[in-house]
Structure 1
């Protein structure tokens, strides 16, 4: 058999929603996106999406859209890209060819709301074989600032690979594994780029930026510098390379929906050496561009105009 024929006959991976109640809805309103199945032709708008990139800041996701447009040479990067979610101030969404760029805000509650509606959007649009990558910033543990971490597993504040959510008064525990092959492919892309240091390791996801991450500079602090250092060193011994606030919900929800997922975050500082950012604006801006450079390179490498989409 011709290898090309084998690719064409490969099964399509659709986006799962696991909710029988959706079938009873005449119009599924994606409220926080200001979109809906009755008011918008979602297959026409989003049916060709193969890559979704999400990050906390609306500004950063618009910048990523402009960057990927230039990288793929699909549209003029100087064009004014409309915010698809302009009818709401909760999230921002942009699209260039098969790449969707979405902001998710800060913390687990915000990204979880976004993902519920994004997963439903991709499902209603009939999207297949979608890869989703969260790009963002983080605090590193034992890494030079500017290092990029591709997450192997998202762990909680006790270093366990799980996401807990209370549903109907009961605690539900979900797996937080991410796609290992995708992580290795991203690491390979970074090696090819040779622009910055990249590692694959565990990411600790916390519910808070200050006490939950053992910072000494919050409004409240009931522990010592030694307590902080001991905790962060234990985290590093558990394979944790960085800390952020969204990866556990992201990993769990993407796994449930069958989305191939990765988390790519740059470290802005080494938390073993301090809590506050002292680098200049220009240096921090350079750091923040690194995840989009890596992910942009990966997407460009994956897209083959001659390949047949399923």
Structure 2
């Protein structure tokens, strides 16, 4: 298959692609950071029914999400504490209920990239198809009230360019960061149906750092002024950037390569034009962090209901 093809618009029953001919020569593929393997585990039996994958930075948050979606889908088991499938490793956590998989990815591009390599191989080995992947997380907003959810239109780098750059074998490789626009619109419609919090579609800036890389003034080092920061964030806003986080570039690039519908759904915890540190109470922040999972849950429930048809 031509890797340049827009896989986001592939047929709805397309498989999860991996683009690595070397995998065919391997008698065993051990997914080291998941502690799962093709010889040690029956991956099709364990994961073959997965249709929705939600990923987020925190293991705790992803366990909270699987408990939430289990209740939403009426699959909650009072006898189960939803054990981590990736037992034996402390890199990532993975939970599953029915067709929904919930996986943590840590902080930053390197951490989520490692997880995605193994996640896509897992889904491929399990013969999964028609998979939708949502990154649900937190972010800093630009000109948005805290608690607003941003569904990413396109992920851009710190220079506001829609591309992910990675050095491979000493050469710079540039990959596209397109996301499914139809999925973004579907999620926006879901938010309107929920009518619980503000949701917008806009560009998301992905950076390599939480402090200087995002123009903060409160890191251990800072060589610029408040005016410099404000000028930069205003330029970002003019480029259509609504929020800032640290994973969406590689997430968008790798999801496109794998042929899955994908979206980034992040809540803003603060308006970066007004400050750099979180001032909301713990309870308020906890409430904000549930907004993406509520939106994802509504979307998944709606999709499953539509596929089930009328009772």
TM-score range, shorter chain: over 0.9
1:197 equivalent in alignment to 2:179: no
For the pair 1:99 / 2:75, whether they are aligned, the reply is no
Partner of residue 230, structure 2: 229
CA shift in 2, pair 1:77/1:257, >3 Å: farther
Distance 1:29-1:110 versus aligned 2 partners, 3 A rule: same
Whole-angstrom distance in 2 between the partners of 1:293 and 1:157: 29
Q: Which moved more, 1:13-22 or 1:78-87?
A: 78-87
**Which residue of the partner structure matches residue 298 of structure 1?**
299
Q: What is the CA RMSD across the aligned residues, in angstroms? A: 1.2
Task: Please say if residues 70 and 77 of structure 1, whose CA atoms lie closer than 8 Å, have aligned partners that are also in contact.
Answer: no
SS across alignment from 2:50: coil
| 1:128-277 pair list within 5 angstroms | 128-277=129-278
Q: TM-score, normalization: structure 2?
A: 0.94
Partner in structure 1 of residue 22 of structure 2:
21
Tell me if structure 2 keeps the 8 A contact 1:211–1:221. Answer: yes
- Structure 1 runs (4+) deviating above 6 angstroms are none
Aligned counterparts of 1:77 and 1:28: Cα–Cα separation in 2:
35
- Superposed CA offset, 1:265-287 (max 9, x none): 00000000000001000000000
**Which residue is equivalent to 1:45?**
46
In structure 1, stretches of 5+ residues that fail to align are 1-9
In 1: Cα distance, 2:96 partner to 2:248 partner: 23
- The answer to whether the Cα contact below 8 Å between 2:12 and 2:130 also exists between their aligned partners in 1 is no
Partner of 1:293, secondary structure, is: helix
Give the conservation status (yes or no) of the 8 Å contact 1:112–1:250. yes
The residue aligned with 2:68 is 67
Q: Is the 8 A contact 1:66 1:77 kept in 2?
A: no
Q: In structure 1, what is the Cα distance between the partners aligned to 2:173 and 2:307?
A: 44
Secondary structure of 2:189's counterpart equals helix
The answer to whether the 8 A contact 1:151-1:202 is kept is yes
1:58 alignment counterpart: 59
Distance 1:259 1:87 in 2: 29
SS at match of 2:242: strand
Unmatched tracts of structure 2, length 5 or more: 1-10
Distance 2:89 2:132 in 1: 25
Question: Are the counterparts in 2 of residues 52 and 133 from structure 1 also a CA contact under 8 Å?
Answer: yes
Residue 152 of structure 2 aligns to a residue in which SS?
strand
- Contact in 1 for aligned 2:55/2:104 (Cα 8 Å): yes
Residue 305 of structure 1 deviates from its aligned partner by 7.8
Give the CA deviation at 1:11: 6.3
For the residue of structure 2 that corresponds to 1:159, the secondary structure is: coil
Whole-angstrom distance in 2 between the partners of 1:306 and 1:175 = 31
Query: What is the CA deviation profile of residues 125-170 of structure 1, one whole-angstrom value per residue up to 9, with x for unaligned ones?
Result: 0000000000000000000000000000000000000000000000
Residue 82 of structure 1 deviates from its aligned partner by 1.0
What's the TM-score, normalizing by structure 1? 0.95
How far did 1:86 drift? 1.2
Shift of the 78–160 alpha-carbon distance from structure 1 to 2, 3 Å rule, reads farther
Match for residue 4 of structure 1?
none
- CA separation in 1, counterparts of 2:244 and 2:305? 35
- Give the whole-Å Cα distance in 2 for the aligned partners of 1:104 and 1:133: 12
Moved more, 298-307 or 158-167: 298-307
Structure 2 Cα separation of the partners of residues 292 and 174 of structure 1: 28
Count of residues in Structure 1 that have an aligned counterpart in Structure 2 = 299
Q: Secondary structure of the equivalent of 1:144? A: coil
